[in-house]
Amino acid sequence: MAQNQSEALGRLREIILCEEETRVKELRAELRRLQGRLDDTGELLQKLEPVIADTLAIKIRNSQNEMAEVLGPVMGPAIKYQIQNAKEDMVDALYPVIGSTIRKSVAEAMKELVRALNQRIDDALSKNRFLRRFQSTVSGVSETDLLLKQSLPFQIHQLLLIHKETGILLVQVSGINASSANKDLVSGMLTAIRDFAQTALTPGEGRELTQIKYEDLDIYLDDSKYSTLAIVAAGQPPPQFTESTIRCQQKIHNQFYKLLRSFSGDTSQLSSCVPILESLYRQFSLPESNAGTSASKSGKATGIIALLLLLLLFAVPMVLWLKLGETPPEPAKINHSALVLQIRDHLNSTLEFDSSNLKFIWDDDMLTLAGEGFDGQQRLELAKSVAQVASVSVIINEIATELQPRAMPENVRQQIENTVIYFPHSVTQLTDVASSKLQALVPLLAAYPKQTITIRGHSDLPGDAQANLLASRKRAEQVRTTLAQAGVELARMTIVASGADEPAASNDTEEGRGKNRRVNFKLPRTTSFE
Partner 1 sequence: MNKPAITLSKKICMLGTFSVGKTSLVRRFVHGLFDDRYLSTIGVQIYEKQLPSIPGRRAENLKLICWDLANIEKLTPAIKNYFRGASAAIVVFDLTRPATFDVKDIHLDAFKQVNPLAGLVFAGNKIDLLPDVSSPPSELADLAGSHSAPLLFTSAKSGAGVAEMFAALGQLLLR
The number of CA neighbours under 13 Å toward the Cβ of 136 is 15
CB of 485 to partner 1, least distance (A): 15
- Of the candidates 211, 209, 215, 270, the one whose C-alpha atom is nearest the C-alpha of residue 241 is 211
- Near partner 1 by CB under 8 A: residue from 113, 152, 193, 442: 193
Q: Is 266 in the site for partner 1 (CB under 8 A)?
A: yes
- Near partner 1 by CB under 8 A: residue from 116, 370, 470, 504: 470
The answer to whether residues 376 and 403 touch, using CB atoms and an 8 Å cutoff, is yes
Select 245 or 482, whichever has its Cβ closest to partner 1: 482
DSSP strand E in 46-96: where?
none
Q: Which residues, including other chains, have CB under 8 Å from residue 292's CB and lie 6 or more apart?
A: 127, 128
Select 130 or 362, whichever has its Cβ closest to partner 1: 362
Select 145 or 372, whichever has its Cβ closest to partner 1: 372
Q: Which residues, including other chains, have CB under 8 Å from residue 39's CB and lie 6 or more apart?
A: none
Select 120 or 473, whichever has its Cβ closest to partner 1: 473
Helix (H, G, I), strand (E, B) or coil at 175: coil
Select 136 or 494, whichever has its Cβ closest to partner 1: 494
The answer to whether residues 455 and 479 touch, using CB atoms and an 8 Å cutoff, is yes
Helix (H) or strand (E) holding 401: strand 394-401
Instruction: DSSP letter for 268, please.
Output: G
By rule CB under 8 A, what string of x and - marks binding of each residue 411-450 to partner 1? --------------------------------------xx
Which of these segments, 10-18, 67-75, 241-249, 521-529, binds partner 1 (CB under 8 A)?
521-529
Upstream peptide bond of 524 is cis (omega within 30 degrees of 0): no
By rule CB under 8 A, what string of x and - marks binding of each residue 214-253 to partner 1? ----------------------------------------
CB of 203 to partner 1, least distance (A): 6
Q: Is 493 in the site for partner 1 (CB under 8 A)?
A: yes
**# binding residues, partner 1 (CB under 8 A):** 50
Select 63 or 182, whichever has its Cβ closest to partner 1: 182
Which of these segments, 42-50, 361-369, 387-395, 462-470, binds partner 1 (CB under 8 A)?
462-470
Q: For residue 384, how far is the Cα from the chain centroid?
A: 41
Could you give the C-alpha distances from 255 to 170, 235, 258, 261, 358, in angstroms and in order?
A: 15, 30, 8, 12, 29
CB of 346 to partner 1, least distance (A): 28
Phi-psi region of 463 (alpha: psi -120 to 50; beta: other; left: phi over 0): left
- Near partner 1 by CB under 8 A: residue from 125, 291, 338, 490: 490
Select 143 or 195, whichever has its Cβ closest to partner 1: 195
CB of 418 to partner 1, least distance (A): 18
- Near partner 1 by CB under 8 A: residue from 145, 184, 363, 364: 184
Q: Is 409 in the site for partner 1 (CB under 8 A)?
A: no
Which of these segments, 100-108, 150-158, 194-202, 248-256, binds partner 1 (CB under 8 A)?
194-202
Select 125 or 529, whichever has its Cβ closest to partner 1: 529
User: Dihedrals φ, ψ of 306, to 5°?
Assistant: -60, -40
Helices (H), 40-157: 41-62, 64-85, 87-122, 127-139, 143-151
Q: How far apart are CA 460 and CA 513, in angstroms?
A: 5
Q: Is 268 in the site for partner 1 (CB under 8 A)?
A: yes
Helices (H), 123-182: 127-139, 143-151
Q: Is 489 in the site for partner 1 (CB under 8 A)?
A: yes
Q: How far apart are CA 476 and CA 500, in angstroms?
A: 13
User: Dihedrals φ, ψ of 176, to 5°?
Assistant: -70, -20
- Near partner 1 by CB under 8 A: residue from 400, 454, 503, 515: 454
Q: Is 163 in the site for partner 1 (CB under 8 A)?
A: yes
Q: How far apart are CA 436 and CA 73, in angstroms?
A: 75
CB of 478 to partner 1, least distance (A): 14
Longest Cα separation, the chain: 148
- Near partner 1 by CB under 8 A: residue from 427, 496, 504, 505: 496
Residues 58-87 that bind partner 1 (CB under 8 A): none
- Near partner 1 by CB under 8 A: residue from 430, 445, 469, 519: 469
- Near partner 1 by CB under 8 A: residue from 255, 368, 452, 507: 452
- Interhelix angle 241-261/299-325, rounded to 10 degrees, is 50
Select 380 or 484, whichever has its Cβ closest to partner 1: 484
Q: How far apart are CA 164 and CA 190, in angstroms?
A: 10
The answer to whether residues 360 and 398 touch, using CB atoms and an 8 Å cutoff, is no
DSSP strand E in 134-216: where?
155-163, 169-174, 211-214
Residues 365-404 that bind partner 1 (CB under 8 A): none
- Of the candidates 435, 529, 441, the one whose C-alpha atom is nearest the C-alpha of residue 492 is 441
CB of 295 to partner 1, least distance (A): 44
Q: Is 349 in the site for partner 1 (CB under 8 A)?
A: no
Q: Is 188 in the site for partner 1 (CB under 8 A)?
A: yes
CA 522-512-478 angle, 5° bins: 45
CB of 456 to partner 1, least distance (A): 9
**What is the binding site for partner 1 (CB under 8 A)?**
163, 165-169, 182, 184-185, 188-189, 192-193, 195-196, 198-200, 203, 264-268, 449-452, 454, 466, 469-470, 473, 489-494, 496-499, 522, 524-527, 529-530
